Chains A and B, each alone.
Chain A
Amino acid sequence: MVSIRRVSQIFFLTLFLVLFLMTTLVGENSTGPLATFFMDIDPLVLVTTFLASHSIQPGMLLALIVIALTLLLGRFFCSWVCPLGTVFNAVSALRGGKLAEKIRTGSWNRWQKGKYLLLIGLLAAALTGLHLAGIFDPIPLLYRTMATSIYPAFAWGADQLFTWLYLADPGIGPLRVTLISEPIYSLLRTYVLPIEPLAYEGGVLVGFFFALLAVLALVRFRFWCRYICPLGALLGWCAKTSRIELRNDPELCGDCNLCVPYCHGTRTCRENGRERNASSASTAASSARRARSVSSGGVSADPGR
């Protein structure tokens, strides 16, 4: 289940990046397909734009599918689809530290309510005519950061690196670095890099905001998703009616807490319906199987509050 989820995460992140790269001038005056796909499936874009402007674009109704699926399946979006969640998941995977420490920091924390409060604030602002949800909505956030910060920075860096390699051309005898670097560069030029170097006024600040969130992902597992993300909060509300949930058997549970570091929402089981998401269920269940094989007990959902 974990590996299926990873495949899904990588698939949607790749789709995001491919659609991003294809959102460019094609032919006379057209662009790649599905340019707005990820914005269109984003329920927070739908809800807040409707509240603030009382009108929507037809494409945005795709988000209703995500809402409907969340009502049935729970918060699957965050850990199976969301490209920003995948990025911060990967960043958080770089964290070192002992298992005990991860269990401690991964446990339920009341600051996780922060994202619900932020969502309520953004909804109230939208209702009164201030549409700031896009600042904190993960899909616009990632797209904006990619467009005005990461992509131009990557393009500039790649140009510098490959130009330097070409000029320095280090190697031993006939074996030259450029034999490898030049084909890579021409591939990048064809499929990834912009035709002209890009520069964005204000792009540094956008990048800095993202960098800050990435650092926070090193401090706590998926910090953004747990404490800030208003889209996660909105989906959390939708997930209350979900029929799928992970329950632990208190008879079997050995309170080993091994599931905690794997849980995206922290505190998956028992009463905490809204924080639970489908990914957590799958990961925690697999760690539960592992735990059972060790202690022949169950797995605790209650990491000693």
Chain B
Amino acid sequence: MARKRKKGRRRPETALSRRSFITAAGSGAAATVLLHVSPIVQGKTFNPDLIRPPGSLPEEEFLTKCVRCGECMKVCPTNAIHPTTLEAGLAGIWSPFLVTEVGYCEYNCTLCGQVCPTGAIEELTVEEKQQVHIGTAYLDRSRCLPFVFDTPCIVCEEHCPTPKKAIWFEEVTVRDREGNEKLLKQPHVDPELCIGCGICEVKCPINDPAAIRCTSGGETRNPANQFLLSTSPYG
């Protein structure tokens, strides 16, 4: 192929034919459209497990910047940030997400944004970061000890880092098997205050899975991934 060219000035062996150039470029563009078939990449659905680090751009923009280098995963002091496999669709493979069963987002830490080389995770000040909701904690009343076994437990509320705690108690009186009265504190989550950091999930004494778990719902970066509460920005 290369040698049939004009005599005297041979093309280098690495020269690509026009056909292979067009094929390669076309394949790249085809990959773009093909990987966008996934509803999550198009933003039609939201994976509850896909909690992005604080300061992450909206999903579509995020994926145009993230180079999957893993700097945020290395620097995260609580081992919270992990590489996705298919959680963000194939287009988002090996991008960062929080596994709040393993680690939580430290309230006073902005390291992931500091080391992100491309700005996929914006560098926020600690004060800005503390306002960002990366998700929301949901209480599982069929697993939570004060709800299901009438066992006193206040672990999640104790760890909740927001100045006004996102987890609050309702004091209730219940009866046990023998009919004796028992005073219990049953936790509730205030979705307006909860930032989804996941420390409640990590510290919850129930492990398989925790009785309080975080999802990406309510994340600040995706206005479409909200719940229609009277407290939401959509009133």
Contacts and interface: CB of A to CB of B under 8 A. Distances in A.
A143 B74 contact: yes
Contacts of B142: none
Interface stretch (A8-16, A266-274, A281-289): A266-274
A202 B79 contact: no
Q: How large is the interface on A (under 10, 10 to 19, 20 to 34, 35 or more residues)?
A: 35 or more
A31 B69 CA distance: 17
A128 B67 contact: no
B93 interface: yes
Interface in B42-92: 61, 63-71, 73-75, 77, 79, 82-85, 91
B83 A116 contact: no
A300 interface: no
A23 B75 contact: yes
B28 A125 contact: yes
B102 interface: yes
Given A23-B115, A29-B111, A49-B67, A200 B82 contact: yes
Contact of A202 (B28, B75, B91, B94): B94
B37 interface: no
A134 B69 contact: yes
B89 to A, nearest CB: 11
Contacts of A52: 64-65
B12 A199 contact: no
Interface stretch (B16-24, B180-188, B209-217, B226-234): B16-24
A3 interface: no
B94 A23 contact: no
B35 interface: yes
The CB with the most chain B CB atoms within 10 A, among A36, A55, A117, A201, is that of A201
Nearest to A117: B24
Contacts of A49: 64-65, 67, 118
Nearest to B25: A124
B96 to A, nearest CB: 10
Contacts of B94: 134-135, 144, 202, 206
Contact of B115 (A36, A48, A117): A36
A49 B118 CA distance: 7
Contacts of B24: 116-118, 120-121, 124
A275 B119 contact: no
Contacts of A124: 24-29, 32
A35 B73 CA distance: 13
Given A57-B118, A125-B31, A147 B71 contact: yes
11 contacts: A112-B14, A116-B14, A123-B28, A124-B28, A132-B31, A140-B67, A146-B74, A147-B70, A148-B82, A151-B74, A202-B83
3 nearest A-B pairs in the assembled complex, by CB-CB distance = A124-B28, A134-B67, A39-B117
Given A131-B64, A202-B94, 19 more contacts: A23-B74, A24-B75, A29-B108, A36-B116, A52-B65, A113-B14, A113-B16, A121-B24, A123-B25, A124-B25, A125-B32, A131-B63, A131-B67, A144-B69, A145-B70, A147-B73, A267-B13, A272-B14, A274-B12
